[in-house]
Structure 1
Amino acid sequence: MSSAHQPTALIADDEPLLRDSLARSLAQTWPELRIVAQARNGREAVELFEQHQPDIVFLDVHMPGLNGVEAARQIGRRAQVVFVTAYEQYAVQAFEQGALDYLVKPYEDARLEDTVTRLRERLAGRSPAVSASPMSSSQLEAAIEQLADALRRPSVASASGGGGYLQWLRASVGQTLKLIPVDQVDFLRSDEKYTLVVWAEGEALIRMSIRELMEQLDPKYFAQVHRSVVVNLRSVSHLTRGLNETADVHLRGRTEVLPVSRSYLHLFRQM
């Protein structure tokens, strides 16, 4: 482990532009912090952690293969873990109590500064990192399990109405990282291992399947109308019925016509 005078960190995110963005923000907010490695997935995060033994690990919650929660289990109390998520909020008590820290993408400067302040305090109060952690192993495991449970139930909203559902989609368009507000998405279409996201400003491919996305989208607004198509109900203009209990969905301000298979036609019975 590094000394308290030069703390070290590992950043794990499957999106390189987001890794670089967080690294730049940390360089401005915490110049003394040294980023010793960047990982593309949870498994690589664990391997690089064992190699570099950083004081802090920033873990994207959703990564292919071994996700951030599973990686955190393997790292345990040997580092300060900060989860990074695209959700506006999680109904996870551990977060509210400060047992686990988190950042929401896109990062807000004030939130990052608060996180850095807490990390500084925790690092200053322990040496070495594993000897005086504020949480026992069982407490940390319980807190991580709470987060894992929330990830298994992403469609459960908080009483305020928005918690738990995906609020942003991140997509790489050339060398630019787009953060697309979910409520502006008109429809999603499966494209082999990717999903095409179509919104008012354009379209982009993301590395998530339709099935994965449906688990994270608010069912009040997003409906699967075909095995390869999900539509934002707020964007629907009208429906035209076809043969054999099928139909087509027409969208406001768009020329695309989306198919509705018979398995999903019941969603539009009242239209």
Structure 2
Amino acid sequence: MYQMMTGEARNKDYRWRCRGCKAMYTVRTGTPLEETRLPLRVWVFAIWKAASGKKGYSALQLSREMEITHKSALFVLRRIRHGLGEVNPPKLTGTVEVDEVYIGGRPRYRHPSNRGKTLDKMAVLGMVQRGGDVRFRAMNRVTAGNVNRVIQENADGSCRIITDELNVYRRIGRGFAGGHDYVKHGAREYVKPGTDIHSNTIEGVFSLIQRGLMGTFHSVTRKHLPNYLNEFQFRWNTRYVNDDERVQAAIKQMDGKRLTYRESVDAPPYEAAIW
């Protein structure tokens, strides 16, 4: 390959051409920064903020600080969150706590036939290895079959599973050598006396998501919720490193995960990718 230093190049950006396929490319090719017209400083700043902000970083804040449109800021952060998603991550081991949370707004219409309910809420199943990583999966329906499949996909067969007393977890211990323990939240039991049986770790992870949604993002649609979960999952899994190392890890993880604007806008409904 050789550098295009003459007028033969389409643009004056010093792109490179492959000797084999003759394709022209830059260091941005195949990354979320490909074909972007925004200055590189905007992307570097956004990646830093998304990786270091414990409860997230909003597009409105990025648009104000970088003096770009809200539409551009939203798409930049959307590309970053898409790039932070893991492909075939290693399975969780050891003691794994499992719980679910429902994300959405308060009921807007308190009709007697729909008291206390809202169509905006969506279930998220969380699995965290004590002292290790976390996995999230947005779910359209919380059923025993869906929950069991997701846990078996993300947890090793040698794991010990800890949940609450919800019925969908009743038979979950059959597929794991470590068995299944649970606490009875309905009876206000949060730690079994004299044991390490509790789900406080996953509850702490959920609190970060809820505070991020309440204080930073305010509103997240069902279609884009999985990408927001990518962001929170990445920050939790890199919690033991400093901000510099976390930003470097984010850039490496984003490599090869380009999301075009059309793919972002015309993405399939959430049901196509969620249990």
Q: TM-score range by the shorter chain?
A: under 0.3
Q: Structure 1-normalised TM-score?
A: 0.24
Between 1 and 2, higher relative CO (CA 8 Å, sep ≥ 6) is seen in 2
Relative to total residues, which structure has the larger strand share, 1 or 2? 1
